[in-house]
Structure formats: C-alpha cells, structure tokens
Amino acid sequence: MSENDELTTVETPEVETPLATPPQSLDDLQPKMKLTGIVKRLELYGAFLDVGVGVDALIHISKLGTEHVNRVADVLKEGDEVSVWVDKVDKKRQQLMVTMIEPLSVEWRDLQEGQVYTGTVSRLETYGAFINIGAEREGLVHISELSHDYVKQPSEVVKVGDEVQVQVLGYSKRKRRIDLSVKSLMEKPEAQESVAAVVEYKQEMQQPDFDMEEEDMPTAMEIALRRAMGDDFPTSNKKSRQSRNRRQRSRDKERERQEELLNRTLYVENN
C-alpha cells in the first residue's frame, strides 16, 4: 500500500456497557443499545419486558439465545432481570423489539475494502490466521499477508489472543468470507539498492570476457612454430577449448543464479 493511500479506520461500537443515564423514551433508543429489563409476562411466542421507556419491549422466542429454544419458560420467568439489546424501534406504532443475542459490532453492510479494524487472533492454521473483528464470521489473514518477509508458519508472526490491526482486502457475504491483511499496513522494505546492485552485476556478467578467451587462443606465428617443432597442437588446442567451455558453463551458471536473485528481489519490492 502506497503512502498516498487513505486508510479508513473503523472503531468497534461500544454496545456492551449500559448507559450511565438510562433512556426515558423510545426517542432515546438506538439499535444495538444495551438495556436492562424486568420480565413482566411470558407468551408462547416470546416475553414482554419493562426496560424503563414507557413501552414494554418484546423479545421473540428466536431471540432468547443462539441455541434453539422450545419454550420461553425454559429460559425466562416473570421477575427475572436480564440484559438485552435494542433490535428494532417503531416510534409511530410505539413498538420496541429487543434481543438477548449480543449484536455484531460489524455487519456485512458495514464492510468496505480498505477499512482498518482492530481484531483479535482467534486461531491459527498452516495457511494463515483467523481474526475476530466483531463480524458474523472471522476474517482470514493468509500467510502471505502476514508480513513482507517470508513466513513459514503463522506462529512466527502472531499467536492466539494477540490484538492486531488488519485491513479489509475483500469480502463475500454469499461465501461468508472476509479477506484481511496485516502486511498492507506495514511499510515496504527498502530494496531499491539491492535491485540496482543485482541489475548492474547482471549486466557485467552478460559482457563477454574477451581478455580471457584471447589469452587462450594461439596466434598464427605460434601455430606455425609448433608445427615446425612437431608439437601436437590440435590436442593442446582441444584442451584450450575444453577449458573455455568450462569457464563459459561456470559463467552461465552464475548468471542463472543472479537472475533468480534479481527475480526474488523484485518480487519483494513489488509486494
């Protein structure tokens, strides 16, 4: 992520702590607001509570918990004091719906690419880390998004319980998937000098070594003299060619190594 990119940091709404001053009417209520109520009566479909706003709040049987409830009486009884959250408010009809299921801090409709959340590492897998940002599903930071450096195991970077800042890369409500990144919030390592040095060395390696080759090539005078003296010049010349071939293979191998080093360096720079 470049320095000019803008980050949208999202603060997790405070929905757990009851208000210091209890609301007095429906006008004071907002969705996800936490309230304390007293159970007044039970019905087959739910229960009515007094939450102090002049209108009884209805909690439907489906909102009594995350597990299936067969009977309201299995969970509540008259006179119980319970904590609930505002679900829906209809001021015109003077109706209030509440829930005993703690609402999500982050709804699917709230998610946007580029947003930054503070989350907690909930579990680790070989392919990445799952982060709880208060959404319906945990977000996944793939192992390649944990750091600009090579990471063999997620546990090298984070552990369960760690609080981390993450950025939303993408999401799909249909697939119930949230892709996050830690790396995108980190400054990229400086690799420009390394890249320049490798490129320069690569160019040098591509230049033919004329001095070395010419040093092994006999002149016309040397050839004539050796033939006059009866020297076995072809054998010597063959050895010279073999020596040059070995040096060429060595240079080719070194060039391949530098190519690989350059590609790795450029990969780090671009990611």
Last residue of a domain, one of 40, 67, 99: 99
- List Cβ neighbours of 165 (8 Å cut-off, separation of 6 or more): 116, 117, 118, 119, 182, 185
Residue 85 domain-assigned? yes
Q: What is the mean pLDDT of residues 19-26?
A: 74
The pLDDT tens digits for 36-82 are 999 999 999 999 999 999 899 999 999 999 889 999 999 999 999 99
* CA separation for the pair 84, 102 (Å, rounded): 8
pLDDT at 213: 44
* CA separation for the pair 112, 170 (Å, rounded): 8
What pTM did the predictor assign? Answer: 0.53
Q: Tell me: pLDDT of 203 over 90.
A: no
Residue 66 domain-assigned? yes
Residue 219, classed as helix, strand or coil, is: coil
Q: Tell me: pLDDT of 196 over 80.
A: no
Q: Which domain does 145 fall in, by range?
A: 108-185
Residue 70 domain-assigned? yes
* CA separation for the pair 112, 117 (Å, rounded): 11
Q: DSSP letter string over 111-147?
A: --TTEEEEEEEEEEETTEEEEE-SSSS-EEEEGGGS-
Burial (0-12, 13-18, 19+ Cβ within 10 Å), 106: buried
Closest among 148, 159, 155 to 181, alpha carbons compared: 148
pLDDT at 221: 61
Residue 186, classed as helix, strand or coil, is: coil
Q: Tell me: pLDDT of 104 over 70.
A: yes
Strand partners, 121: 131
Asked whether residue 81 falls in the same domain as residue 120, the answer is no
Pairing type for strands 115-125 and 8-9 reads: parallel
Q: What is the mean pLDDT of residues 193-220?
A: 51
Q: Tell me: pLDDT of 15 over 50.
A: no
Asked whether residue 77 falls in the same domain as residue 142, the answer is no
Residue 74 domain-assigned? yes
Q: Tell me: pLDDT of 145 over 60.
A: yes
* CA separation for the pair 121, 160 (Å, rounded): 5
Our count of domains for the chain comes to: 3
Q: How many residues does the chain have?
A: 271
In this structure, what CATH number is given to the domain that contains residue 150?
2.40.50.140
Last residue of a domain, one of 138, 159, 185: 185
Reading the block at residue 191, the tokens are 């690799």
Residue 11 domain-assigned? no
Residue 1 domain-assigned? no
Last residue of a domain, one of 78, 99, 120: 99
